């Protein structure tokens, strides 16, 4: 019996192809409405998808085929977006089982704010929250805040010592940032709230903890203002293309999204991630490795390849991506996912080329095909996102265990 796999869907605008907003089925006038995002997430939930991620950034959209790309000056592409955390909070009460994982940029922002926002999302969703941490090496985005200078650089400059050190420092800062977020989630013990009107005691102050975190990058005292989230620790995830990012994920994430072009490369990336996980002392913990794929799936009226070609014509350029691009039918994609799974990949984050078409084909064609192969669930089997992914609810690091001394 094959091991069931996990499926996530990455939502971004009208889809990952820059011309997708011009599709007849697209709804560009609704992109900035709650109803648009609710419809997409409810569609994903009907397909029993583990969770959705929602893209976000601190600057206008860039060319998403290039890592570290600058915002595009083109006026024929979607520009502007809603805040991903707030979108997730709006969608949460209108869904019941699917996980909600908004993107949060951890450069320039404060971990205290992100910690309480994701903790609040976990309460609103009743234990289905997560976060995709993302750093920013953009000079233009740094100028929005004025608190630090990041020199302009191109992707090719990453090989230079100066830019490599800059990016390395940003990843180390991101690791500290997530550590602060996690400690703040633990800064209230699970039973810190007493809520006893008769005695007039609402909380046990001895069960709120200062985290007193100090590092080169951050100084945070705590405790949080939000009690410990329902999951204890909401899901933390990160996209990784290189060893620095693998190291960040191995230190702090529950899921790392990787972008292998083929199964051989996938096996090599999994090996790198596992080595970093061991080096971080987390070899006994579950760290999922999800492969990202951009998908253009065959429908009853059009092949995925034809859809991509038509969108390429509209955009005036062939669409490329940091992730592998798949065009074809559901059975062919299911076969490919099985091959990646055999290389050590534990799940997949699918990026629909065009919305809603490719999301509809994921839920209406791919999911039934995977179920036929006994590779995917036929019903939600847990009430929390951690439960769906087989992640235990972690103990609170500050709680004194029974029999221990303070």
User: Within its chain, how far is the Cα of 347 from the centroid?
Assistant: 13
Count Cβ atoms below 10 Å from residue 249 Cβ, excluding itself: 28
Q: Is 82 a member of any domain?
A: yes
Q: Is 227 a member of any domain?
A: no
User: In the chain, how many domains are there?
Assistant: 1
Write the pLDDT tens digit of every residue in 104-159: 999 999 999 999 999 999 999 999 999 999 998 888 888 888 888 888 877 777 77
Q: Is 85 a member of any domain?
A: yes
Q: Is 174 a member of any domain?
A: no
Is the pLDDT reported for residue 297 higher than 90?
yes
Write the pLDDT tens digit of every residue in 321-355: 999 999 999 999 999 999 999 999 999 999 999 99
- Under the banding of pLDDT at 50, 70 and 90, the label for residue 178 is very high
Residue at token pair 């699917």: 98
Average pLDDT over the chain, rounded to an integer = 93
Q: Is 186 a member of any domain?
A: no
The span from the CA of 102 to the CA of 86, in Å, is 9
What's the whole-number mean pLDDT along residues 389-393? Answer: 96
The span from the CA of 238 to the CA of 133, in Å, is 5
Which pLDDT belongs to residue 14?
97
Q: What is the CATH number of the domain that holds 49?
A: 3.20.20.30
Which pLDDT belongs to residue 66?
47
Cβ neighbourhood burial of 72 (10 Å; 0-12, 13-18, 19+): middle
Q: Is 30 a member of any domain?
A: yes
The span from the CA of 223 to the CA of 184, in Å, is 6
Is the pLDDT reported for residue 164 higher than 60?
yes
What's the whole-number mean pLDDT along residues 40-59? Answer: 97
Which pLDDT belongs to residue 69?
55
Q: Is 194 a member of any domain?
A: no
Is the pLDDT reported for residue 278 higher than 50?
yes
Question: In degrees rounded to 5, what are phi and psi of residue 293?
Answer: -140, 135
**Interacting residues of 349 by C-beta distance below 8 A, sequence separation 6+:** 8, 9, 10, 53, 257, 290, 291, 292, 293
Q: Is 364 a member of any domain?
A: yes
Residue at token pair 């999301």: 359
User: Comparing 177 with 163, which gets the higher pLDDT?
Assistant: 177
Helix (H, G, I), strand (E, B) or coil at 103: strand
The residue range of the domain holding 129 is 6-141+232-388
Q: 51-55, 241-245, 358-362: which range is least confident on average?
A: 241-245
Q: What DSSP string runs through 362-382?
A: IIIIIHHHHHHTT-S-SS---
């Amino acid at each position: 019996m094959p091991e069931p796999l996990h499926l996530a869907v990455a939502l971004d605008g009208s889809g990952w192809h820059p011309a997708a907003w011009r599709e007849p089925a697209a709804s560009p006038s609704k992109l900035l409405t709650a109803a648009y995002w609710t419809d997409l997430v409810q569609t994903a939930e009907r397909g029993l998808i583990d969770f959705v991620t929602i893209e976000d950034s601190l600057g206008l959209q860039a060319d998403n085929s290039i890592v570290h790309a600058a915002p595009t000056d083109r006026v024929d592409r979607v520009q502007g977006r809603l805040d991903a955390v707030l979108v997730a909070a709006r969608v949460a009460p209108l869904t019941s089982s699917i996980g909600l994982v908004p993107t949060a940029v951890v450069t320039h922002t404060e971990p205290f704010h992100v910690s309480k926002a994701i903790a609040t999302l976990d309460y609103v969703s009743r234990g289905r929250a997560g976060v995709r941490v993302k750093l920013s090496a953009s000079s233009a985005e740094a100028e929005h805040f004025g608190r630090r200078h990041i020199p302009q650089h191109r992707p090719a400059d990453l090989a230079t010592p100066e830019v490599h050190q800059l990016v390395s420092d940003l990843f180390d800062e991101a690791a500290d940032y997530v550590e602060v977020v996690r400690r703040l989630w633990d800064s209230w013990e699970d039973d810190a709230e007493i809520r006893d009107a008769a005695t007039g005691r609402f909380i046990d102050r001895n069960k709120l903890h200062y985290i007193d975190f100090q590092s080169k990058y951050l100084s945070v005292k705590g405790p949080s203002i939000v009690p410990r989230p329902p999951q204890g620790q909401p899901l933390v995830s990160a996209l990784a293309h290189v060893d620095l990012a693998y190291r960040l994920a191995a230190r702090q994430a529950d899921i790392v999204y990787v972008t292998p072009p083929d199964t051989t490369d996938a096996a090599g990336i999994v090996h790198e991630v596992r080595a970093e996980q061991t080096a971080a002392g987390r070899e006994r913990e579950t760290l999922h490795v999800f492969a990202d794929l951009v998908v253009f799936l065959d429908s009853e009226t059009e092949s995925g390849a034809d859809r991509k070609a038509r969108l390429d014509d509209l955009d005036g350029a062939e669409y490329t991506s940091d992730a592998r691009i798949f065009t074809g039918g559901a059975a062919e994609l299911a076969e490919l996912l099985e091959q990646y799974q055999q290389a050590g990949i534990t799940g997949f984050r699918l990026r629909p080329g065009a919305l809603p078409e490719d999301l509809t084909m994921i839920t209406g064609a791919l999911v039934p095909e995977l179920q036929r192969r006994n590779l995917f669930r036929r019903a939600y089997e847990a009430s929390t996102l951690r439960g769906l992914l087989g992640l235990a609810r972690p103990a609170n690091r500050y709680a004194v265990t029974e029999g221990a001394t303070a």
